[in-house]
Amino acid sequence: MNKGEIILYQSQDGTTSFDVIVEKETVWLPLDKMAELFQRDKSTISRHIKNVFEEGELDNNSTVANFATVQMEGNRQVERCLEYFNLDVIISVGYRVKSQRGTQFRIWANKILKDYVNVSYANRPCTWNNIQKNSSRF
């Protein structure tokens, strides 16, 4: 993926699709698209995001960015600066939200993580030193 690239996300059931901004080696979504992704209203997603930052799970300065977005307002094209949240925030909210889509997201995320761990450990010897070194990250 290239800097500033926009890719299309489509849910497994095909009911939800939208553009995702790829920038700074991560993906970014605005609040309304996260609400659409997890099938919850914006106030619910906003509350989860607020809690992610208040609880110190993530740092607001490194996970939030403003991007200029062109949108239609009546017959006019208007450029607005919108707040976007990176993949870390999207994942954190995905583990907090209670919805069918949130459940699907958690199943998908757990599978990706499990696959990554299995490949990672398959590619290097499983020694006590490696286990201790990697477990200290949590």
User: pLDDT tens across 87-132, in order?
Assistant: 899 999 999 999 888 888 788 777 777 877 777 666 665 555 555 5
| Alpha-carbon gap, residue 62 to 52, rounded angstroms | 13
| Alpha-carbon gap, residue 96 to 54, rounded angstroms | 14
pLDDT above 90 coverage of the chain, percent = 36
| Confidence category of residue 136, pLDDT binned at 50, 70, 90 | very low
| Alpha-carbon gap, residue 34 to 25, rounded angstroms | 19
Can you tell me which residue has the tokens 């995702």? 20
Write out the two tokens for 77: 């094209």
Per residue in 70-88, pLDDT (tens digit) is 888 899 999 989 999 998 9
At residue 3, does pLDDT exceed 60? no
Count CB-CB contacts under 10 A for residue 52.
22
| Alpha-carbon gap, residue 24 to 74, rounded angstroms | 33
pTM over 0.85: no
pLDDT at 71: 80
Higher pLDDT, 58 or 24: 58
Half-sphere exposure of 83 (CA within 13 A, CB side): 11
Write out the two tokens for 92: 């954190």
In sequence order, which residues have a C-beta less than 8 Å from that of residue 104 and are 6 or more positions away? 11, 12
